């Protein structure tokens, strides 16, 4: 990939080749609609950006319109994921990459909290199991060194 | 032979994948399958219980481009999808075994999974002479017939397997035919393209894994989710087409400004494929975005469609006149094209009501 990255691609500085489809504006309208829906019904919506026919500059345009809000998070689960709240509260950008760093999903979620950030019961259960094991092992270690403290 | 008894959910948990990781995998899979984005939980519920299907992959008259495309796929952890979540029991380019041992593996997989395995085929089948293409001394025709007999379904990967492709191009010296010309008693999914988009190949496998059924197909047996809309209807240069603004050469002002490539032979209006949204090379770009018209490689007989640089839909060959009219009456024709586009979209929507982008586009 490095070799490919080294190939110099001249960019037309005039910006004439904008390749903008107007899809960014349509998406912003859709997002506003989904925000109203969230407020009225509590229902979340997700827009799949990989399914939108973006021109070369549409994505940048959309992301710069959305900007960066108060919250951002990085996850490490089957590769890195980045989640950030836009400057419009309740509008989140979720980008998933695989273990090779390639983007496999790119979505706008209109929700109070993206599902991927929540701790899931199965993971809490397995966490509790591991913590219990640690406590038992710890207690054994503790017992041998400080027998007087064991009831 | 691999252990096919555990479910995908069990297998992932054994590998220490958390629910977050699983949800991410399902989100990527739903996106790849062009399902509405909110369907990730339903995909998760289905994939949790999915069992690994046995897959036999046969390569006939082909250039290995389809396998190359697939193995460079960036689809969600495709290495896992391919090698952990399906049981790829025979693929003579990828497998380590060769000769008699390879054929024994194919026969064992056919026997152990009779009626249940998926058969993937790339390449066309020569009927001109059995000796034109053989594997282990077995003709392509014979191997296809005997392997398809016990398959649950056949996936014809690439335009060669789906429609005959390049080997079938005039004068078709080997008498090449497609899989569906030979196999008529099994469900066949045509995943055309020269090569197909890798995520579309894995998407069809993922659909089978997720729902244990075959996806909805179009008139050419192609999955609607990926082939339901024309390149033209999803092309970001479409507004230029609608305004009658065309590049006339590959280096003129129109080309530099990213105008429509119709006059340079773009076959986007007759080509049905997912390039405009799924793109190529890890979503980097696609032919029209790099300045070259679509060749229509996912369509039957695209090699014999009259020349890659010849503009479409002008039976008289008078390109300049037709496009000239389009340019002069740009707005009116643009409006008509949008109308047609709407009709096509609503048709697509009726046929597969699950594609989110259509829902988005209706607001435009
Ligand atoms: S003719 Fe080709 S370049 Fe022009 S809008 Fe259609 S698909 Fe895009
Ligand atoms: S843009 Fe057209 S020719 Fe190119 S890969 Fe896609 S369908 Fe085939």
Give tens-digit pLDDT for A90-136. 999 999 988 778 888 899 999 999 989 999 888 899 899 999 999 98
Are residues B209 and B155 in contact, defined by beta-carbon separation less than 8 angstroms? Answer: no
Per-residue pLDDT at A142: 57
DSSP lists the bridge partners of residue B119 as: B56, B154
Q: Are residues A106 and A127 in the same domain?
A: no
Per-residue pLDDT at B89: 80
Question: Domains in chain B, start-ordered, CATH in brackets?
Answer: 8-227 (3.40.50.700), 238-363 (4.10.480.10)
Please check whether residue A2 lies inside any domain of the structure. no
The average confidence (pLDDT) of chain B is 79
Q: Which residues are CB-neighbours of B183 under 8 A, at least 6 positions away?
A: B144, B145, B148, B154
Per-residue pLDDT at B81: 52
Task: Report whether residue B263 contacts ligand 1, using a CB cutoff of 6 Å.
Answer: no
Q: What is the pTM of this model?
A: 0.75
ipTM at complex level: 0.75
Q: Are residues A97 and A123 in the same domain?
A: no
Does the distance separating the beta carbons of A58 and B258 come in below 8 Å? no
Residue that wins the pLDDT comparison between B49 and B311: B311
- How confident is the model over B308-328, as pLDDT tens digits? 998 886 433 333 333 333 333
Please check whether residue A34 lies inside any domain of the structure. yes
Q: Whole domain around residue A129: which residue ranges? A: 119-151
Least confident of B10-19, B73-82, B302-311: B73-82
Task: Report whether residue B222 contacts ligand 1, using a CB cutoff of 6 Å.
Answer: no
User: What is the least distance, in Å, from the CA of B20 to any CA of chain A?
Assistant: 6
> Mean pLDDT across the stretch B291-303?
95
φ and ψ at residue A103, rounded to 5 degrees: -70, 125
Q: Are residues A86 and A136 in the same domain?
A: no
Q: Are residues A105 and A46 in the same domain?
A: yes
Please check whether residue A17 lies inside any domain of the structure. no
> Mean pLDDT across the stretch B45-64?
85
Please check whether residue A66 lies inside any domain of the structure. yes
* The dihedral formed by the CA atoms of A13, A19, A25 and A28, expressed in degrees to the nearest 10: -90
Task: State yes or no: pLDDT of B180 exceeds 80.
Answer: yes
d(CA B344, CA A86): 34
Q: Are residues A95 and A59 in the same domain?
A: yes
Please check whether residue A47 lies inside any domain of the structure. yes
Question: pLDDT exceeding 90 applies to what percent of chain B?
Answer: 45
Q: Tell me the pLDDT band of A19, cut-offs 50, 70 and 90.
A: low
Residue B264 Cα, ligand 2 centroid: separation in angstroms?
A: 15
Task: State yes or no: pLDDT of A80 exceeds 70.
Answer: yes
Q: What is the DSSP letter of A120?
A: P
d(CA B208, CA B201): 11
Q: Are residues A102 and A64 in the same domain?
A: yes
Q: Are residues A46 and A101 in the same domain?
A: yes
Per-residue pLDDT at A141: 61
Structural domains counted in chain A: 2
Q: Are residues A48 and A112 in the same domain?
A: yes
User: What is the least distance, in Å, from the CA of A69 to any CA of chain B?
Assistant: 23
Q: Are residues A123 and A76 in the same domain?
A: no
Task: Report whether residue B271 contacts ligand 1, using a CB cutoff of 6 Å.
Answer: no
Residue that wins the pLDDT comparison between B328 and A14: A14
Please check whether residue A93 lies inside any domain of the structure. yes
Q: Are residues A136 and A147 in the same domain?
A: yes
Taking phi over 0 as left and psi of -120 to 50 as alpha, with beta for the rest, B358 belongs to alpha
Per-residue pLDDT at B100: 82
Ligand 1 atom at minimal distance to the Cα of residue B276: 7
Please check whether residue A3 lies inside any domain of the structure. no
- How confident is the model over B133-163, as pLDDT tens digits? 998 889 999 999 999 999 999 999 999 999 9
């Amino acid at each position: 990939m490095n070799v490919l990255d080294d190939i110099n691609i001249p960019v037309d500085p005039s910006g004439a080749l904008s390749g903008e489809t107007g899809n960014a504006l349509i998406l912003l309208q859709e997002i506003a609609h989904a925000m109203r829906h969230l407020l009225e019904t509590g229902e979340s919506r997700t827009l799949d950006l990989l399914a939108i026919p973006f021109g070369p500059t549409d994505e940048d345009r959309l992301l710069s319109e959305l900007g960066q809000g108060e919250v951002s998070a990085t996850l490490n689960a089957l590769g890195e994921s980045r989640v950030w709240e836009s400057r419009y509260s309740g509008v989140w950008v979720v980008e998933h990459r695989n273990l090779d760093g390639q983007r496999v999903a790119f979505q706008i979620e209109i929700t109070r909290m993206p599902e991927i950030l929540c701790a899931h019961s199965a993971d809490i259960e397995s966490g509790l199991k591991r913590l219990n094991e640690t406590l038992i092992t710890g207690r054994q270690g503790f017992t041998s060194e400080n027998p007087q403290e064991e009831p | 032979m691999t252990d096919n008894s555990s479910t995908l959910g069990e297998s992932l948990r054994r590998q220490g994948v958390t629910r977050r990781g699983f949800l991410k995998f399902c989100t990527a899979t739903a996106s790849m399958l062009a399902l509405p984005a909110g369907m990730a939980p339903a995909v998760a519920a289905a994939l949790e219980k999915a069992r690994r299907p046995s897959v036999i992959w046969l390569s006939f008259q082909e250039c290995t481009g389809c396998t190359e495309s697939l193995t460079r796929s960036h689809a969600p952890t495709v290495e896992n999808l391919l090698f952990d979540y399906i049981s790829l029991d025979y693929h003579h380019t990828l497998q380590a075994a060769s000769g008699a041992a390879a054929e024994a593996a194919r026969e064992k997989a056919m026997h152990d999974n009779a009626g249940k395995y998926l058969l993937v085929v790339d390449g066309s089948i020569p009927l001109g002479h059995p000796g034109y293409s053989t594997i282990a001394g077995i003709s392509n025709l014979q191997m296809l017939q005997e392997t398809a007999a016990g398959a649950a379904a056949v996936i014809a990967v690439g335009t060669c397997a789906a429609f005959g492709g390049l080997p079938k191009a005039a004068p078709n010296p080997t008498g090449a035919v497609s899989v569906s010309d030979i196999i008529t008693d099994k469900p066949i999914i045509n995943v055309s393209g020269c090569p197909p988009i890798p995520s579309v190949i894995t998407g069809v496998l993922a659909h089978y894994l997720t729902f244990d059924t075959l996806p909805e197909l179009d008139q050419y047996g192609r999955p609607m989710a990926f082939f339901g809309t024309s390149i033209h209807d999803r092309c970001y240069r479409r507004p230029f087409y609608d305004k009658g603004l065309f590049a006339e050469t590959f280096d003129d002002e129109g080309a530099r400004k990213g105008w429509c490539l119709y006059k340079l032979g773009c076959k986007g209006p007759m080509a049905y494929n997912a390039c405009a949204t799924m793109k190529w090379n890890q979503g980097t770009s696609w032919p029209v975005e790099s300045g070259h018209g679509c060749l229509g490689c996912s369509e039957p007989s695209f090699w014999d469609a009259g020349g890659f640089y010849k503009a479409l839909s002008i039976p008289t060959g008078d390109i300049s006149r037709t496009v000239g009219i389009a340019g002069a009456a740009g707005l009116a024709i643009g409006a008509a094209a949008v109308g047609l586009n709407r009709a096509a979209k609503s048709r697509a929507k009726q046929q597969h009501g699950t594609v989110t982008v259509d829902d988005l586009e209706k607001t435009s």
